[in-house]
């Protein structure tokens, strides 16, 4: 197996610019044929492996670049900005995006922790980042290849897809990123409850003390652990989630006032000020720019790992 074989397979099954759904649980293929400028996105809990090209992700003042034998693992929905600095039809960025929020992932984690004793190796009071770039190893990339091969064989896919997914998830749990994943999806789910609550109530007033209560922590402990994971304070995170969601809604054609209301802003002027401060242009300017971005086919790519 070589990276060229994986690239050729992705090229066959992802014929166009953007992300392509395939008939395997939680899996999408990525093909980017032109540079994508920095745009806001909500990254889902997912694994992104690039076998050709690079992407950059910005979160809380930090920049993470991956590709070239490294992968990105996002263990919870996070408000980021992302870009593809270089891509062309002749040299596209190629990769895959695999959800970490699937029944197969949870089943694999339970089995790994009980049988292989892959337990979190940090104390419960510590926190780990929710976005990590790690080097891939041969067992992981072999598992990727074995899973992708099923796209060429519908019969084998019906029989083996779940077992190949479990193999890939298991190798991911044993990789450099495994500790972070086990902390998030395993024994330490307290912050995860707060993230889920926030996303469910994004259009409502949400107080930090309320999130701390949902997580079962004091406000001080919650604030410290939250920032260790996201690199943002809870208030900064809430604002970033709301503005990123609004930017996506506006780019999708929703008018500015409706988008502001939908993400919890009661004051259009406050929304416009904070949006302009975050993205360097007004919401209406953003809407105009988004039309050109969508026409170029980039809209579906930025949220793909």
Q: Read off the pLDDT of residues 21-32 as tens digits, 9 standing for 90 and up.
A: 999 999 999 999
- CA–CA separation, 43 vs 77, rounded Å? 5
**Residue 230 has what pLDDT?**
81
Lowest mean pLDDT among 49-58, 78-87, 192-201, 247-256: 192-201
Whether the pLDDT of residue 175 is over 80: the answer is yes
Mean pLDDT, residues 134-149: 94
Residue 88 or residue 253, greater confidence: 88
- Other beta carbons within 10 Å of 280: 10
Q: Please answer whether residues 194 and 132 qualify as being in contact, where contact means their C-beta atoms are separated by less than 8 angstroms.
A: no
pLDDT in tens, 236-291: 989 988 998 898 888 888 999 999 999 999 898 999 999 999 888 899 988 887 76
- CA–CA separation, 31 vs 50, rounded Å? 10
Show Cβ contacts of residue 302 under 8 Å, excluding neighbours closer than 6 positions: 36, 39, 41, 82, 83
- Other beta carbons within 10 Å of 249: 18
**Residue 68 has what pLDDT?**
79
Decide whether 3-185 matches 241-305 in CATH topology: no
- CA–CA separation, 232 vs 195, rounded Å? 13
Return the CATH number of 3-185, one of 3.20.20.10, 3.40.1280.10, 3.40.50.150, 2.60.120.10. Answer: 2.60.120.10
Q: Please answer whether residues 51 and 3 qualify as being in contact, where contact means their C-beta atoms are separated by less than 8 angstroms.
A: yes
Residue recorded with tokens 């806001």: 40
Q: Please answer whether residues 150 and 160 qualify as being in contact, where contact means their C-beta atoms are separated by less than 8 angstroms.
A: yes
- CA–CA separation, 213 vs 55, rounded Å? 37
Percent of the chain predicted with pLDDT > 90: 50
User: What is the residue extent of each domain of the chain?
Assistant: 3-185, 189-231, 241-305
Whether the pLDDT of residue 2 is over 90: the answer is no
- Other beta carbons within 10 Å of 154: 9
Whether the pLDDT of residue 120 is over 80: the answer is no
**Residue 38 has what pLDDT?**
87
HSE-up of 200 (CA within 13 Å, CB side)?
A: 8
**Residue 187 has what pLDDT?**
44
**Residue 186 has what pLDDT?**
56
Q: What is the CATH number of domain 241-305?
A: 1.10.10
Whether the pLDDT of residue 115 is over 90: the answer is no
E strands, the chain, are 18-21, 27-32, 36-43, 46-52, 54-59, 62-67, 70-74, 78-84, 93-99, 131-135
Whether the pLDDT of residue 124 is over 50: the answer is no
Average pLDDT, the chain: 86
- pTM (two decimals): 0.77
């Amino acid at each position: 197996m070589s990276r060229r074989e994986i690239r050729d397979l992705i090229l066959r099954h992802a014929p166009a610019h953007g992300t392509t759904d395939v008939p395997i649980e939680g899996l999408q293929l990525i093909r980017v044929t032109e540079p994508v400028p920095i745009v806001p996105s909500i990254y889902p809990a997912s694994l992104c492996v690039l076998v050709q090209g690079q992407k950059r992700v910005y979160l809380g003042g930090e920049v993470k670049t991956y590709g070239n034998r490294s992968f990105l693992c996002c263990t919870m929905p996070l408000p980021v900005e992302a870009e593809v600095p270089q891509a062309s039809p002749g040299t596209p960025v190629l990769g895959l995006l695999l959800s970490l929020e699937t029944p197969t992932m949870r089943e694999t984690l339970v089995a790994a922790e009980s049988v292989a004793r892959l337990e979190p190796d940090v104390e419960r009071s510590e926190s780990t980042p929710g976005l990590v770039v790690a080097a891939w190893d041969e067992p992981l990339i072999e598992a990727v290849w074995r899973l992708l091969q099923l796209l060429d064989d519908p019969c084998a896919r019906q029989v083996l897809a779940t077992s190949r997914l479990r193999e890939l998830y298991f190798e991911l749990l044993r990789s450099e990123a495994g500790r972070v994943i086990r902390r998030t999806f395993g024994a330490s789910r307290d912050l995860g409850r707060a993230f889920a609550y926030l996303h469910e109530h994004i259009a409502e007033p949400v107080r930090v003390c309320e999130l701390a209560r949902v997580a079962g922590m004091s406000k001080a402990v919650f604030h410290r652990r939250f920032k260790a994971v996201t690199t943002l304070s809870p208030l900064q995170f809430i604002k970033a989630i709301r503005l990123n969601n609004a930017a996506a809604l506006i780019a999708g054609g929703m008018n500015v006032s409706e988008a502001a209301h939908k993400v919890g802003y009661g004051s259009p002027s406050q929304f416009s000020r904070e949006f302009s401060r975050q993205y360097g242009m007004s919401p209406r300017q953003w809407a105009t720019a988004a039309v050109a971005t969508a026409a170029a086919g980039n809209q579906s790519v930025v949220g793909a790992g």
